Structure 1
Amino acid sequence: MAPWAEHAIWWQVYPLGFTGAETSALPPGEPARHRLRHVEAWLDYAVELGCSGLLLGPVFASETHGYDTVDHFRIDPRLGDDADFDRLASAARGRGLHLLLDGVFNHVGRSFPVFARAAGDPRAAAWFRRETGETGAGGSIGDAGGTGEYATFEGHHRLVALDHDEPAVLDHVVRVMDHWLARGASGWRLDAAYAVPARFWRAALDRVRPRHPHAWFVGEVIHGDYAGYVHQSGLDSVTQYELWKAIWSSLNDGNLHELAWTLQRHVALLETFTPLTFVGNHDVTRLASRLTDRRHLGHALAVLFTVGGVPSVYYGDEQGLTGVKEEREGGDDAVRPVFPATPGELPPSGRPVHLLHRRLIGLRRRHPWLVRARTALPYLDNRAAALESADPADPGHRLLTLLNLDDRPRRLPVETGGLAVLESSGSSGGAPSPADPAVVPAHGWTVLGRA
């Protein structure tokens, strides 16, 4: 992993939604809308939040939502042009923010120029995977233009699957990666990486890394053998969906054993790579809507920022925004909202959650070894737990995160000698911290460490 990535804390933004862009591509001849400057206006906000990187959703020319790319070498005119990208990259770099781009290399939109030629050009047709066998949930949909049945991404007609065994596809992806890394990107988030053969990423990175040795590559992998995929693909990291699910599910069900089980698996992953951790992103219901008890939002954040991994915060989560993802066309809109022109226009209702994020991100930055921390649970029952995160390279580095989901205070039977309260639910204006640091208020949490 690139050395700088060990200290990365990402602020993830979905630019098309964030800037209020049109829902479909601009008509030919329309001038570019310079909306990336809207994102630029929020860079100081990301820095003040405590983040060190900007994880951008799709910025390349597409048909609608950005994941139906039509030109990987052109900024979507709804967002601006090359000059706007260069300006954003320079402004981010000037603030010490790394820039991670969203690469959609599993599929393309149907107006992708090579696909438009596929009907009469065998070399172009070779870029796209043909569906074989019967059509299933993720099967093919016949193309009305007569190009035959091409595989699609999870049954979405507008998303045509690339054939990753075709050398021209590999050459194209390598060129795209090289181009934007040379223009100021620090790495790539690889969309739907799980749908791409691991050997394809290995072949691509073998060609890209020598020219960009400090770039960082993270793949979107939802389930399966995370460690095995990283090993086979050569990626630096993958998305830790298991931990995401365990955090909110264990809090909702009052079953912290689920969190404990997942943390055991998480620690095993840390032996081989550092996962990208999160409690929200552009594809899932927001944490504030997912939790059945809003008092447990701080518990989720305390876990995220005190266990190993590279953490990411999805824009708006740090303001306590709500939003439910629905399985329908436009079902992502609620979790991809427009943000105002400047941070000063945010409603004051989000300030407590914003402050909570700043405090916990500050804690994380003061303990940078947490990126590699191994977490054990010296105490666990359904509704209370102690998470002990320690640095495998230095046993003196140790934090205790205490969680209480009960309606009454709990004293957890853990050794706290020499440890003080560093952060707690009480610090945000609730009940004062108790004299005994092992006592956790009702529906409270505490992080203990050496002052």
Structure 2
Amino acid sequence: MSWSDHAIWWHVYPLGFLGAERVALPPHESPRHRLPVLAGWLDHLTRLGCNGLALGPVFAAETHGYDTVDHFRIDPRLGTEDDLTELIGRAADRGVRVLLDGVFNHVGRSFGPFADVRRAGAASPYADWFVPEGDDFRTFEGHRHLVALNHANPAVADYVVSVLEYWLERGVAGWRLDAAYAVPRSFWRAVTDRVRARYPQAWFSGEVIHGDYAAYVTEGGLDSVTQYELWKAIWSSLNDTNPHELAWALKRHNAMLDTFVPQTFVGNHDVTRIASRLRDPRHLPHALTVLFTVGGIPSVYAGDERAMRGVKEEREGGDDAIRPAFPADPAGLGSEQLAVERLHQTLVGLRRRHPWLVRAQTHLHTLNNAVLTYTLTGPEGGAVAVGLNFGAAPAAAAVPAGPWSHAAGEGDVDPGSGAVSLPAFGRLVATAPRLS
């Protein structure tokens, strides 16, 4: 197993989490040293059972961080390079790796090379870094302030390689590649091959919302991609009391696991929080149970471990509710929803005891209009069984017979027969050293 097979990420959007200003600081103002605050959350992260800190954008940007203007400079709203390297060091002392968010499909309009093109036009040495379109330049999905890079230009690849290597040299473990689906896979392959030659342990996960997920690994050279299909199926199947949707997604997930290990999640900085997405709060344990038992590299979006709520809206400022400021340290969270945090700890602990789950495929057993059961087996015979009752009535189900021991949930399993009983909205996680 590589180190990434043991990774469970705690995902933070720093500009929001740390209460940064909405727009870039004026050039004459001193940096705000906010990044060191995150060091005070490392114990919280490790108490959850996580061992990775996945940071959203930290580079100099115009507003929300995805409009980068300098990939070699920490956004002054967050601090300085020294602040980041100190955080990386303090994380490493606790066995925690740090992942950075790289935006290489597009840049902000104040990005140095683009600003030079606007001044000098075709005479600029960066003229072919961008693609003319009408009276302007190609943009990302119609957002004028996000100017797309020309990925056919080898100089752009050279630039991206230099950025990735610069921060890997300073101790980061890998990269989330923003909007990876909008970049040609051949570009990613060329870049990652070059970087791996110097940093073979670096891990690259691409943001891929739709399309051929596996191709970004086999053709693009990435290690993983975001598993949006499973994310959608989890909350949608629970809201509709439709286990068949989740069962279909798990079959698709198995096919992905034949090729790579997806990055799994039930929340991130771009989507409505899971506690708000689910219509019935009794379904939250079901969603978390799926996340932490199926194959994949899981991440927890900061605040979801306390069932924080927030709805994403398609408007300017529509991400604010899902990217709030947090208190200066975990004590500021108080005691609200501690049961949800303990549930995370229980399920992460189970996963730590069965590290083979990272690549395990699900085997479906009971599937009807309200109930789904599945098992996962390890290479040396260990097994995990999961039963989920989506509905409001008690239900019976089954898994293969085996020496099952109850690990989590309200349900029961009979080891001799494999018969499973689940109360209304109940769930079961059981473990066994082997199956009969």
SS in structure 1 opposite 2:400?
Answer: coil
SS in structure 2 opposite 1:233?
Answer: coil
Contact conserved, 1:104 with 1:192, CA < 8 A, in 2?
A: yes
Residue 127 in structure 1 maps to residue 114 in structure 2: no
How far apart are 1:270 and its partner, in Å?
0.5
Contact conserved, 2:57 with 2:65, CA < 8 A, in 1?
A: yes
SS in structure 2 opposite 1:189?
Answer: strand
Describe the superposition over 1:167-194 as per-residue Cα deviations: whole angstroms up to 9, x where unpaired.
Answer: 1111110000000000010000000000
Contact conserved, 2:404 with 2:413, CA < 8 A, in 1?
A: no
Q: Which residue of 1 aligns with 2:387?
A: 402
Q: Which residue of 1 aligns with 2:83?
A: 84
Question: Matches of residues 279-428 of structure 1 in structure 2 within 5 Å?
Answer: 279-391=266-378, 393-394=379-380, 396-424=381-409, 426=410
Contact conserved, 2:362 with 2:375, CA < 8 A, in 1?
A: yes
Task: Give 5+ residue unaligned stretches, structure 1.
Answer: 132-141, 143-147, 427-432
What TM-score, normalized to structure 2?
Answer: 0.96
- Structure 1 stretches of 4+ with a deviation exceeding 3 A read 433-437
Q: Which residue of 1 aligns with 2:431?
A: 449
How far apart are 1:435 and its partner, in Å?
7.5
Contact conserved, 1:416 with 1:438, CA < 8 A, in 2?
A: no
SS in structure 2 opposite 1:412?
Answer: strand
Question: Matches of residues 3-82 of structure 1 in structure 2 within 5 Å?
Answer: 3-82=2-81
Number of paired residues? Answer: 426
Residue 176 in structure 1 maps to residue 178 in structure 2: no
CA distance in structure 2 between the aligned counterparts of 1:340 and 1:97, rounded to whole angstroms: 21
SS in structure 1 opposite 2:382?
Answer: strand
How far apart are 1:434 and its partner, in Å?
4.8
Q: Which residue of 1 aligns with 2:99?
A: 100
SS in structure 1 opposite 2:129?
Answer: coil
How far apart are 1:450 and its partner, in Å?
2.1
Q: Which residue of 1 aligns with 2:213?
A: 226
Describe the superposition over 1:269-325 as per-residue Cα deviations: whole angstroms up to 9, x where unpaired.
Answer: 101100000000000000000001110000001011110010010000001000000
Residue 440 in structure 1 maps to residue 401 in structure 2: no
CA distance in structure 1 between the aligned counterparts of 2:34 and 2:199, rounded to whole angstroms: 28
How far apart are 1:334 and its partner, in Å?
0.4
Q: In the alignment, residue 327 of structure 1 is paired with which amino acid?
A: E
Q: In the alignment, residue 127 of structure 2 is paired with which amino acid?
A: A
How far apart are 1:82 and its partner, in Å?
1.1
How far apart are 1:40 and its partner, in Å?
1.2
Contact conserved, 2:67 with 2:107, CA < 8 A, in 1?
A: yes
How far apart are 1:348 and its partner, in Å?
1.4
Q: In the alignment, residue 260 of structure 1 is paired with which amino acid?
A: A
CA distance in structure 1 between the aligned counterparts of 2:401 and 2:393, rounded to whole angstroms: 21
Equivalent in 132, 137, 155 of residue 150 of structure 1: 137
How far apart are 1:388 and its partner, in Å?
1.1
Residue 274 in structure 1 maps to residue 261 in structure 2: yes
How far apart are 1:376 and its partner, in Å?
1.3
Task: Give 5+ residue unaligned stretches, structure 2.
Answer: none
How far apart are 1:368 and its partner, in Å?
0.3
Contact conserved, 1:8 with 1:53, CA < 8 A, in 2?
A: yes
Contact conserved, 2:138 with 2:147, CA < 8 A, in 1?
A: yes
What TM-score, normalized to structure 1?
Answer: 0.92
Contact conserved, 2:238 with 2:283, CA < 8 A, in 1?
A: yes
